[in-house]
Amino acid sequence: MNMRRTTIKDVAEAAGVGVATVSRVLSGGSASPETRERVLTVAAQLDYRPSALGRNLRQRRSGGIGLLVPDITDSFYGRLADGVLACARSAGEPVILGTTGDDAEREAEEIAVLLEQGVDRVVAVPAGSGEIWEPTLRTGLTTVFAHRLAAGRHDVPAVLADDRAGVRTAVDYLTGLGHRRIAYLGGPGQDSRVSVFRQTLGALVDEELIVFARGSRDSAYAAAAGLFQHRPDLTAVLAGGNQLGEAAVLAARELDLRVPKDLSLIMFDDVPWAELCSPPLTVIAEPAQDIGYRAAELVLRAGGRRPRGALLPTELIVRGSCGPRRTV
Amino acid sequence: MNMRRTTIKDVAEAAGVGVATVSRVLSGGSASPETRERVLTVAAQLDYRPSALGRNLRQRRSGGIGLLVPDITDSFYGRLADGVLACARSAGEPVILGTTGDDAEREAEEIAVLLEQGVDRVVAVPAGSGEIWEPTLRTGLTTVFAHRLAAGRHDVPAVLADDRAGVRTAVDYLTGLGHRRIAYLGGPGQDSRVSVFRQTLGALVDEELIVFARGSRDSAYAAAAGLFQHRPDLTAVLAGGNQLGEAAVLAARELDLRVPKDLSLIMFDDVPWAELCSPPLTVIAEPAQDIGYRAAELVLRAGGRRPRGALLPTELIVRGSCGPRRTV
DNA sequence: CATGTTCATGGAAACGATTCCATCATGGTT
DNA sequence: AACCATGATGGAATCGTTTCCATGAACATG
């Protein structure tokens, strides 16, 4: 029962060369054509696969890239993860996935796990504020933020959707339809959007109409229902994500608000069911998968250098959930 | 610039003991109370974190568990993954995620990546047939299948939803409503469901009404539209997953089939948007997250022994997408 | 011809943990 | 008092790779 897997040493012996030579051949170093040939055939014959374990220890870093998202159950992050996976696969790199639940503490724990594993490249949707990342970044972790950046941390490259433009478009669209009392139903880490929201709305801004939910579905529903009940005079809502949009639709239905007659609704993030909803939801589409892919690309290409980030376009897709302001 | 991270050797020196002792203390071996105390305080002072790299090499296996799903974008697998992550987190284990696209070849590649990484525990939604897993399983990979099993491979523990019962319930429900021409719109790896479908339907079974899509959304839509156009006489559809259900709703809408008046629809897998759809979709709920959690539990607990699998209940949730057979 | 340069090559030293094994002290038993 | 069992301890080997360095050959240049 001697099922030891074949090591580089076996290959070296079988090929009649030293282990160093085998290593060089296999990792593209210099070697004479004949030996290269011989080593390669022998390696193929023995079905030799280098063990990542040995290599990782020697290089004091595990390959692979870490991926931290708030919630893999959320379609948006699912697509983002898919993008990262696609890029990683084309590079043959494994992806270690962790979820933070938009909680700074859990985020820190997940980072610790990654660090212990020797992962030195991370794509993250940051949950905690910038300081949390400070010690991590100084250990040489090359990090790329995706979808949003950590508060007060502009020294980390980030791949973002241009949601500021998205907010402007949406608000302009709604005011163009005659709406004056427009609410923003937000989630964690959307401060930048809200500031644009305020800015675009100008004199129309009403602080009571800006509410935030925590990450969960329940919290989103609670925020939406609370908002609608507390301020029945509002006529339009901008929901900051697909779970918030879902909550808004549900709450509106529960309170017998007809969309778009009583309430116009725009949602961030185009999801397949937006079209199936009745009425079909007007959305601001964000290229979630692209965000993931680009972020992974950046983190893989980064040879120690800090790459520049990217800003990807959003798109207003008009369906049926917005109408002219109701005349009370 | 000497930023070497602190190793077990540093701790040993600082505590005035041997590295072996430190290792034992940290991994729960025997040691005298005083030394244990001393080692622990010193380790804390130096902020020592054991490197998984060294440990992995020595034990010739990386910790962590591999997770293979067809498509992380699919809400069902997202929830399944979430379950796996929840369990893994409570054990402090990292999760390496790979997607197979329901393609045997890609599955094999992902397995190869995991093996190279030294991963020896895998939770997988198998794509390829049983033989593909043969060599893998013999290398000592402890595997648990989730959601479905690989064709002809009953020697691998699996955590499944009792979708056979689900199919029976759904079919009984539809026939009870008077339906006679009932279609099954399936995806990859649903043979077991279809056999129950045939069995339950008995004399009513019509092979033309059993169609399969490949994994993608497009393929699902094509299959649904083709089915509806080719056999306008059918009055009920059982969709084998949320993407297939989505496609069915879309195709029905496109062809001006009213649900449930012209067409009754039941979908496998309860997703949040099923309630938002109009009409709200009647579904067979599957405990995706539980499946993931239980599977991860099994794979973690397995101390070389092969654990027994589990069969989790499904539930018919009646909403508004099924009605009595239309009278033509 | 002597010397320097370039290359292929292999031995050996890392990398950081776990674990085998020998050693030594202690305390109890005959 | 001699002996054995027990338990704590540290040195050293080990895991599989990469990479540093020394060696020697071949070749070019003066």
pLDDT 10s digits, B257-311: 999 999 999 999 999 999 999 899 999 999 999 999 999 999 998 866 677 899 9
Q: Does B118 touch chain A if contact means CB atoms closer than 8 Å?
A: yes
CB contact residues (below 8 A), chain B span 237-276, against chain A: 246, 249-250, 271-273, 275-276
Q: Give the mean model confidence (pLDDT) for residues A75-90.
A: 98
Longest CA pairwise span in chain B (Å): 90
For residue B109, give how far its alpha carbon lies from the nearest alpha carbon of chain A (Å): 9
Cα separation, B54 vs A117, in Å, equals 10
| Predicted local confidence at residue B274, as pLDDT | 95
Q: Coil, strand or helix: which one is B32?
A: coil
Interface with A, mutate which of B53, B138, B265 (most A CBs under 10 A): B53
B179 pLDDT tier (thresholds 50, 70, 90): very high
pLDDT at B1 over 50: no
Where is pLDDT greater, at A287 or A4?
A: A287
pLDDT at B218 over 50: yes
Nearest-Cα residue of chain B relative to residue A73: B78
Write the pLDDT tens digit of every residue in A36-77.
Answer: 999 999 999 999 999 999 999 999 999 899 999 999 999 999
pLDDT at A258 over 90: yes
pLDDT at B118 over 70: yes
Which segment of B12-16, B224-228, B307-311 scores lowest on mean pLDDT?
A: B307-311
Q: Which of residues 8-67 of A touch strand C (CB under 7 A)?
A: 16-21, 24, 30-32, 34-36, 54, 57-58, 60
Nearest nucleotide to B19 (CA to C1') is D10
Residue nearest to nucleotide D13 (CA to C1'): B58
Contact between B49 and A79 using a beta-carbon 8 Å cutoff: no
pLDDT at B3 over 90: no
Write the pLDDT tens digit of every residue in B36-73.
Answer: 999 999 999 999 999 999 999 999 999 899 999 999 99
pLDDT at A328 over 60: no
Interface size A-B, in CB pairs within 8 Å, comes to: 140
Where is pLDDT greater, at A302 or A254?
A: A254
Tokens 């059993």, located at residue: B210
User: In Å, what is the separation between the CA of A32 and the C1' of C1?
Assistant: 30
Q: Does A97 touch chain B if contact means CB atoms closer than 8 Å?
A: yes
Write the pLDDT tens digit of every residue in A195-235.
Answer: 999 999 999 999 999 999 998 999 999 999 999 999 999 99
For residue B82, give how far its alpha carbon lies from the nearest alpha carbon of chain A (Å): 6
Interface with A, mutate which of B97, B105, B249, B281 (most A CBs under 10 A): B97
pLDDT at B328 over 80: no
User: In Å, what is the separation between the CA of B117 and the C1' of C7?
Assistant: 34
Angle at which helix B217-230 crosses helix B242-254, to 10 degrees, equals: 50
| Predicted local confidence at residue B319, as pLDDT | 97
| Predicted local confidence at residue B140, as pLDDT | 84
B75 pLDDT tier (thresholds 50, 70, 90): very high
Q: Give the mean model confidence (pLDDT) for residues A10-27.
A: 95
Write the pLDDT tens digit of every residue in A159-208.
Answer: 999 999 999 999 999 999 999 999 999 999 999 999 999 999 999 999 99
Q: Give the mean model confidence (pLDDT) for residues A21-33.
A: 91
Contact between A49 and B250 using a beta-carbon 8 Å cutoff: no
State percent of chain A over pLDDT 70.
Answer: 98
Q: Does B64 touch chain A if contact means CB atoms closer than 8 Å?
A: yes
User: In Å, what is the separation between the CA of B35 and the C1' of D9?
Assistant: 10
Nearest-Cα residue of chain A relative to residue B288: A73
pLDDT at A1 over 70: no
How high is the mean pLDDT of chain A? 94
Cα separation, A44 vs A22, in Å, equals 12
> Which of A57, A85, A139 lies nearest to residue B54, judging by beta carbons?
A57
Contact between B53 and A50 using a beta-carbon 8 Å cutoff: no
Cα separation, B321 vs B267, in Å, equals 9
Which segment of A11-15, A16-20, B304-308, B319-323 scores lowest on mean pLDDT?
A: B304-308
Is the minimum distance from the CB of B60 to strand C below 7 Å? Answer: no
Q: Domains (ranges, CATH) in chain B? A: 8-50 (1.10.260.40), 65-160+289-312 (3.40.50.2300), 163-286 (3.40.50.2300)
Q: Give the mean model confidence (pLDDT) for residues A87-112.
A: 96
Chain B residues whose CB is inside 8 A of the A78 CB are 72-75, 78
Chain A residues whose CB is inside 8 A of the B85 CB are 72, 97-99
